[in-house]
Amino acid sequence: MILSQPDLKLAWKKKLIRFSPDITEDQIGLSSIDLRLGYIVTHLKKSNSVIKPAAKGFDPTLLVQNVDLRGKNPRGKPIPFRLSPGRLMLAFTLERIEVPDSLAANVQGKSSLARAGAAVHITAPHIHPGFRGNITLEMYNHGPWQLEFVPAQDLVCQVIFYQITRKVAKEMIEKHGTFVDQRTPFPPRKVPVAHRKKF
């Protein structure tokens, strides 16, 4: 069951769904909540090596470059985020989100951006119950134009919340929460507790 606007507003006002910095009521749509582009973006460096991102404990630290777009340019304006045609970059949402154990969520792009060629996520929209952190956006420009977005201002994605059939136990959330409290858009892959070797 997807939460509609009245239930989203109620969950937000009761702090069942939390955001930091907090959202405003006009970010709540008919059945989703719009989120803004954050300041942290990640470039993927070119490499001649074969990359195995599905490997347990995969650490991309040396393969990426994180950039903080806080501050102003020489003209005193915000530093923009630019996405060239055919380019993949990762970015955080401005808002850190906390999903309760009774809900799951899904991050989707916005139609207005898709019409300009911007994909906000590639194949990873699902957000598990108990997730805490900024949402990573896998942004790709399918169109012919160079696209520009302003961090902390432009609404770039929407989050849809689902009521799940039964609450998930906190120990299960901690056991399987691979990207909970992530600090960068492409952090080292945390090995789930269930897969850790015992000595």
Catalytic center residues: 138
Question: How crowded is residue 150: how many other Cβ atoms within 10 Å of its Cβ?
Answer: 15
Measure Cα distances from 89 to 38, 50, 190, 198 in Å.
13, 19, 21, 37
Summarize the chain as % helix, strand, coil (round to 5): 15, 35, 50
Chain centroid, CA 15 distance in Å: 20
Q: What count of Cα atoms within 13 Å lies in the side-chain half-sphere of residue 101?
A: 9
